[in-house]
Chain A
Amino acid sequence: MKPIAIKSIRGLLLVGLLGGLLTAGVAATAITYWRTRSETNELFDYQLRQMALSLRNQRLAQPDFGIARDDDDFIVQIWQPDGVRIYLSHPGVVLPDQVKLGYDTVTFNDESWRVFSIQTPASTVQVAQPMRIRRELAQGVALRVLTPFLWLLPVLAALIWITIGAGLRPLKGLAQSLEKRTPLTLQPFSEMNLPAEVMPMVRSLNGLLQRLADALSTQRQFVADAAHELRTPITAVQLQIQLLERAKSEKERDATLRELKAGMKRCAHLVEQLLSLARSEPDARQQGFAPLQLAETVKASIAHLTPLAQARRIDLGLNQADDVAVNGDAAALRVLCENLIDNAVRYAPEGGRVDVEVVRQDDVAQLTVTDNGPGIPVEERERIFDRFYRLPDSSTQGSGLGLAIVKNIADQHGAAIVFEESPYATGLKAVVRFPILRT
């Protein structure tokens, strides 16, 4: 069942409460009416009987002076035992002769009459009253119950409107405060003196504001760090350009130009890494995930890095490639693999060795990159994922971002990354464990 949209809480409460009031009023009126009817019935029936009883021994002469009939008057008829009517209180209104003894309700001239008849040896006395009387009486009483309700309705409507308005004022206040907030003012709202119903909302809002503030702060920090880090490669390029200007011989110019190209390449690499990092951030726009073969991605990465490995005479190879599927973003996983293998190739010594493996272990797809470089000391393994963090002893020209990128992408794919001891004398074994895609 689709939930009905509430356009206004106040409107809903108003309609609900007034509706309830009206229902109560109508119910009270109806009950009063029926009870009054019941009581007037009893009372008038009693009166009819008493009247009949009091008349049974009277000898009444037919009234001859005309008194205008009041519509509410009782009608009395008395018959002799032989059926002759000897008395009629209101000539002109003749009720049926055939009567039941005791109480009866008869219809006469389109009117309903309550009749009581009593029979003595001397006469039969009948007293009748229009039912209308009783109805009107009950109606009157009932209406007098309903009327205050009806007067109350607008008063209560106004009261409800104002009270609810006052009750909902904290929401309005909250809306106004929120309006004034900017990305620079994300402090939490005070949770003191709040109505119980508004508290959960404000608490959740504060939670969101905190998360937002943290995210913005992280972003700002990232931009500041990135700009700062770019200074180093740019400084090198600036120096190299000036040296190029000063170069006095063709040979010197060539040598300096080569240095300049290397410097420029470093700038470009850092920019690429910064972009990769930004794209791999958890709150960056998500690319679509699809099933893919992990081994294929790894093979592509190895192919891409083979020239670099060859330039350093490093033996880069794929030891094992199990057939295993994971759910992920192919481009992101390429970046992950390339960063891991690139690190291994850079840190391995000339003529060193880098092994890559894709192994299926139960319901885990395990990617391993092993090198025989200097490795990472155990105490550095926590910080190594920090952005721009480089090992204190390293003199390589890395950006410091590779592992931060790898960690982001691994997190994105629900994968865990750990470092284990390399099987070689020194070196690093990086292990990434992905959940296998169940088909």
Chain B
Amino acid sequence: MRLLLVEDDTMIGEGARKGLRQDGFVVDWVKDGQAAELALRTETYDMLLLDLGLPKRDGIDVLKALRARGDMLPVLIITARDAVADRVKGLDSGADDYVVKPFDLDELSARIRALLRRRSGRAESVIEHLGLKLDPASHLASFNGEPLALSSREFGILMVLLDHPGAILSRAQLEERLYGMDEAVESNAIEVHIHSLRKKIGHEFIRTVRGIGYMVPKRQ
């Protein structure tokens, strides 16, 4: 899951990025509103973590512009402004959730997962599909009851594919969802990971659609 973190304070940004990466998220971090809008237009994210008091362009303005162009990206506001009026304004401007500073890292991750779950239309946090069980909170996986040892990239690929079973994702699309702005991706990285996954869960689970990409079949 790829997140865009917009936070102008260096220490907070560094700490949050480090913590979220430890929890298995891919995190891009920008420090002002303009950089945020640029990143939103050029990259694909699963969620936006937005601080409000930003230089160059206020967080609320970024949010409003995002919603104005019909973007349904889940947005979680992280801010020090905790007055009721501020919360109402944030939520009414299009945010999905509101977290006040100082915040707990574990709670932040949990809220992110909750929002992602909601967006996927899932009720349960554990993802179950055709014998595969993925728990995003604990990063544990099992297949047909047998526990699986997955790297975070492999876990990530499965999460992305299981987001929309039946949808085909190209290699480029998978790369976008799994690698941050500042990470270098080797051209065959995805293939290597898919190959490794197939060794663990069999060749039937992840299907290759020639010329297009990869997919996980829908439930029968």
Contacts and interface: CB of A to CB of B under 8 A. Distances in A.
A259 B80 contact: no
B15 A239 contact: yes
B18 A232 contact: no
A269 interface: no
Interface residues of B, number: 22
A237 B22 CA distance: 18
A243 B20 CA distance: 10
Nearest to A232: B9
Nearest to B106: A242
Given A235-B101, A238-B104, A392-B56, A243 B11 contact: no
B12 interface: yes
Interface string A257-300: 00100110010000000000000000000000000000000000
Given A235-B101, A259-B11, A262-B11, A246 B16 contact: no
B19 interface: yes
A220 to B, nearest CB: 14
A234 interface: yes
Contacts of A266: 11
Nearest to B54: A392
Nearest to A242: B105
Interface string B1-39: 000000011111011101100100000000100000000
B104 A236 contact: no
A393 interface: yes
B15 A231 contact: no
Given A228-B80, A243-B19, A236 B31 contact: no
A212 B104 CA distance: 41
Contacts of A231: 80, 101-102
Interface of A: 228, 231-240, 242-243, 246, 259, 262-263, 266, 392-393, 395, 397
A240 B12 CA distance: 9
A232 B10 contact: no
A393 B8 CA distance: 10
Contact of B101 (A232, A242, A243, A395): A232
Contacts of B12: 232, 235-236, 239
A216 B19 CA distance: 42
Contacts of A392: 55-56
B58 to A, nearest CB: 11
Question: Top 3 A-B pairs ranked by shortest CB distance?
Answer: A239-B15, A236-B11, A235-B102
Nearest to A224: B83
Contact of B103 (A235, A243, A395, A397): A235
Contact of B22 (A234, A246, A263): A246
Contact of B15 (A228, A259, A393, A395): A259
B127 to A, nearest CB: 24
Contacts of A263: 11
Nearest to A248: B22
Nearest to B100: A231
Contacts of A234: 101-102
A379 B207 CA distance: 60
Contacts of A236: 9, 11-12, 15
Given A235-B101, A246-B19, A397-B10, 18 more contacts: A228-B81, A231-B80, A231-B101, A232-B80, A235-B9, A235-B80, A235-B102, A235-B103, A239-B12, A239-B102, A240-B11, A242-B19, A243-B19, A243-B105, A259-B14, A266-B11, A392-B55, A392-B56
A246 B21 CA distance: 12
A240 B10 CA distance: 12
Contacts of A228: 80-81
A239 B11 CA distance: 9
A393 B10 CA distance: 13
Contacts of B31: 395
25 contacts: A231-B101, A232-B9, A233-B11, A235-B12, A235-B80, A236-B9, A236-B11, A236-B15, A238-B102, A239-B11, A239-B19, A240-B11, A242-B19, A243-B15, A243-B18, A243-B19, A243-B22, A246-B22, A259-B14, A262-B11, A263-B11, A392-B56, A393-B55, A395-B8, A395-B10
